[in-house]
Structure 1
Amino acid sequence: MSNFADNSSPRVRAFGEPGSDRLPNEALRYLNAIDAATALVTASAVSIVAWFVFEPLRVVILTVIMLGVAAAIAFEIQIMNRLRMRNTSFTVTGDEIYIVRGLFFRRFTSIATSQVLNVEITEGPVLRKFGLVKIRFTCIVAVEPLGPITPAVATAIRSTVLLKQTPACRGV
């Protein structure tokens, strides 16, 4: 864990600088499971249509579908999800939320904590199975998601961001 509670003075980040924290290893297993389930549901639906529509070439079409799904799952799980994990990082301090995503098309998001209106932590049944949650930062003009991350990290991030809000927002 890095510096969630660090209240040092804000600094300007160099373009392309990675964040100090990464998504947890459980996030890779979660992404793989979601992608595999999505591919299997899609393949099942396409196979049902192919079964009823294409009578003369049914076996060939179903074989092509199976090979396509196997290739898609292998590519997504073995390459894309690992790249997504390796190229996502973040840093949360008392002054800033900084998120970096992408390999070829990099996206750098920096949100001043004073601009955050809401911090939402969500957990569905699949995320819960993997011990993960997702967090969303709501600002005036945008909503920025981050995750999946562990509940402990999400709670620390939420506390760090909300502690920097004005005393009126904290009820002080």
Structure 2
Amino acid sequence: MRTIPTDSASRGRAATGARIQEAVVIPQPIAPPTAGEPGAHALPPAALGYEIARSAIAIGAAAVVAAAAVLLLAPEPARPPLLAAVAALAAVGGAVDLLVLDRIRVRSTSWTATEDFVYIASGRLVRRSVLVPVPQVLGVEVAVGPLLRRAGLVRVRFVTIGDGVEISAVTAEQAASIRGTVLGQRGVADA
């Protein structure tokens, strides 16, 4: 931010290095990050626990469906080795996902929300970045599911005419700040 003196006398004092008593603060717009750069804010540490729980549920459900398919469709002699293969695949895939991929996913996700734009960047190998100008944001939804609630987090979704974008796991305080920043210009009160 820069300050501009409000009268000619204070301008003269500013030029000589005297202290300015009265000034108008003019906010400088923040330039959006270049595509692929990280945003100003990272996901909170509790987001890792949320991602791990979500992945564990998905892996467990996939393993149950695969085991049921083996039991229903495979002939009797082929069932034990196929069930062992399903269990091994679920264990190895689950370990890689829970121990490596979830950490990478959380660490590589960042966001910036200003009065001018919302920027979300994610992904390590395949970097995805989304820049949405605030005038295109129709609304900001804050949702809390059981896993998010347990982790003390919320999901923030920006409703636009096209595809909406979301920040998967932030604290309630961050969500209120984001909502106030993005919708504040329109006189919408935080709910």
Give secondary structure in 2 for the equivalent of 1:117: strand
| C-alpha distance in 1 between matches for 2:49 and 2:70 | 31
Q: In the alignment, what sits opposite 1:154? A: 175
Q: Does 1:112 align with 2:133?
A: yes
Q: In the alignment, what sits opposite 2:108? A: 87
Deviations 1:98-146 (A, max 9, x none): 1111122222211222221100001111211111111110122221111
Q: Is the 8 A contact 1:10 1:96 kept in 2?
A: no
Q: In the alignment, what sits opposite 1:75? A: 96
The 10-residue stretch of structure 1 (31-40 or 12-21) with the greater mean CA deviation from structure 2? 12-21
Q: Flag the structure with more relative contact order, 1 or 2, with Cα contacts below 8 A and sequence separation at least 6.
A: 1
The 10-residue stretch of structure 1 (142-151 or 13-22) with the greater mean CA deviation from structure 2? 13-22
C-alpha deviation, 1:154, in angstroms: 0.8
Q: In the alignment, what sits opposite 1:36? A: 56
C-alpha deviation, 1:74, in angstroms: 0.7
Assess, with a 3 A threshold, how the Cα gap between structure 1 residues 59 and 89 changes in structure 2: closer, same or farther.
same
| C-alpha distance in 1 between matches for 2:78 and 2:162 | 52
Which runs of no fewer than 5 residues in structure 1 stay unpaired?
Answer: 1-6
Assess, with a 3 A threshold, how the Cα gap between structure 1 residues 42 and 153 changes in structure 2: closer, same or farther.
same
Q: Does 1:9 align with 2:29?
A: yes
1:138 partner letter: V
Give secondary structure in 2 for the equivalent of 1:134: strand
Task: State which structure, 1 or 2, has the greater radius of gyration over its C-alpha atoms.
Answer: 2
Count, aligned residues: 162
Runs of 4+ in 1 over 2 A off after TM superposition: 12-17, 51-54
Give TM-score, length-normalised by structure 1: 0.86
Which runs of no fewer than 5 residues in structure 2 stay unpaired?
Answer: 1-26
C-alpha deviation, 1:63, in angstroms: 0.8
Root mean square deviation, CA, Å = 1.7
Give secondary structure in 2 for the equivalent of 1:146: strand
Give identity over the alignment, percent: 33
Give secondary structure in 2 for the equivalent of 1:164: helix
1:136 partner letter: R
Assess, with a 3 A threshold, how the Cα gap between structure 1 residues 57 and 12 changes in structure 2: closer, same or farther.
closer
Q: Does 1:24 align with 2:44?
A: yes
Q: Does 1:124 align with 2:142?
A: no
C-alpha deviation, 1:52, in angstroms: 3.6
Assess, with a 3 A threshold, how the Cα gap between structure 1 residues 14 and 63 changes in structure 2: closer, same or farther.
same
Q: Is the 8 A contact 2:144 2:155 kept in 1?
A: yes
